[in-house]
Structure 1
Amino acid sequence: MTRCLASVFIATSLDGFIARPDGELDWLPPAEPDNDMGYGQFSASVDVLVMGRHTFEKVLSYGDWPYDLPVKVLTRSKLTLPEALVGKIEFMQGEPAAILDALATHGFQHAYIDGGETIQAFIGAELIERLIITRVPVLIGEGLTLFGKLPAKKDRLAWAHVKTFTWSNGMVQSHYRRR
């Protein structure tokens, strides 16, 4: 059995934060109608979204559910699923490798990994194959970082630069593959 691949598509502030300390994303600019900055192409390449509980709760707070693909929420807590999302979301728990193996046994081939702690766990387990980071030209001073402390003996995870795009709004997006 081949393990499900895992990729990240995320925005950071220029100073490297993915959210304010309280999880707020108010520093992100509004979406542009004619430029999704590669998100459509990326989302077409994945068949399942794996997110952490905090990210799930943040997305729920926005109202309408934005995802069409199956979503797996990693949590150790008992959560109540809104009626409208029954059948669209499944709760899971386990180590990153076990999560990707379980997804593969259910026919999934490529997972979109989202949420700071979840991304950090999958990077620490050396399971992220593709990393797409869009830097927003704003400094927020403090917040939740994309990269946390790596596990012992994994302090030199190497990535190969694939390409970088810039847009007129000042955003810069870099694509990396794990070496």
Structure 2
Amino acid sequence: MRELVYYVAVSIDGFIAEPDGTFDAFPVTGDHAAVLTSDFADAVPTQFLEMLGVAPPRSRFDTVIQGSRSYRIALDEGNEHPYAHLREYVATRSGATPPDGVTYTADPLATIRDLKQEDGLGIYLCGGGVLAGSLLSEIDQLVLKRYPIVLGDGIRMFAGADPTVAPFNLVSTRRFESGLVIEEYRRPDEGSPFRGPSRA
């Protein structure tokens, strides 16, 4: 079964963007940049891969889903296909006609459940936070690019999610001189007990 992977830049206090939706606080420069364009090249927008002369490996993801606000950023720049090397889905209730090669869905939860039944690579959950909150029950893996900053306010990583406890196990951590830490978490297997921190 395919997995849904939430791969996202996040602050120490759990925000993925500033209050106005911008993410200038998360620079892509530094010694972590080479890893982002190699290990996670499938999640780099197509135009940036082309600028770097990097061919998408299609080894990690073959599909992307993003929210309408995230997609709007690309549209405002005249880019209808920010991830042209992937199958592109956008969660929106606008009723608008999507560009050729992009699928709009008003029910992202059902869409993800259907996509998971197909053969293929991982599904990249690009954002934003509201979409991630609505898909929390289907997220199999978290890959967090944790920046050493506190935003104090902004768009939460799981905005609007129903109150719940969703256990994930930390499976790897990579630290960089830039201060960035890549944390990878995986949802426990069915039947595995969640062993959280002891409470005195």
**Is structure 2 residue 168 aligned with structure 1 residue 151?**
no
Structure 2 match to 1:52: 67
1:111 is aligned to 2:150: no
Deviations 1:127-159 (A, max 9, x none): 11110001112222210110345435xx22111
Q: Is the 8 A contact 2:18 2:154 kept in 1?
A: yes
1:29 is the counterpart of 2:42: no
| Cα displacement (A) at 1:61 | 3.1
- Check whether the contact 1:166–1:173 (CA below 8 A) recurs between aligned residues: yes
Distance 1:163 1:66, change over 3 A: same
Alignment partners' CA distance in 2, 1:69 and 1:131: 19
Say whether the 8 Å CA contact 1:134–1:171 is kept in structure 2.
yes
1:89-144 superposed Cα distances (whole Å, 9 cap, x missing partner): 11112151x11233356655521112111111111xx2111100011122222101
Q: Percent identity among equivalent residues?
A: 26
Question: Could you say which residue in structure 1 is the equivalent of 2:95?
Answer: 78
Secondary structure, counterpart of 1:47 in structure 2: strand
Structure 1, unaligned runs of 5 or more? none
Give the corresponding residue for 2:153: 142
Contact 1:17 1:144 in 2 (8 A): yes
Listed as ranges, the matches of 1:151-170 within 5 Å are 151=162, 155-170=164-179
Distance, in Å, in 1 between the alignment partners of 2:171 and 2:72 is: 33
Runs of 4 or more consecutive aligned structure 1 residues displaced over 6 Å after TM superposition = none
Distance in 2 separating the partners of 1:73 and 1:122: 13
The TM-score, its normalising length taken from structure 2, stands at: 0.73
> For 1:161 and 1:30, how far apart are their aligned partners in 2?
24
Give the C-alpha shift of residue 170 in structure 1: 0.5
**Residue aligning to 1:5:** 3
CA contact (8 A) 1:134 1:172 kept: yes
- The Cα of 1:39 is off from its aligned counterpart by 5.3
Give the equivalent residue in structure 1 for 2:45.
none
Q: CA deviation at 1:164?
A: 0.3
CA shift for structure 1 position 70: 1.5
Deviation at 1:52, TM superposition (A): 0.7
1:131 to 142, 150, 153: 142
TM-score, L = length of structure 1: 0.80
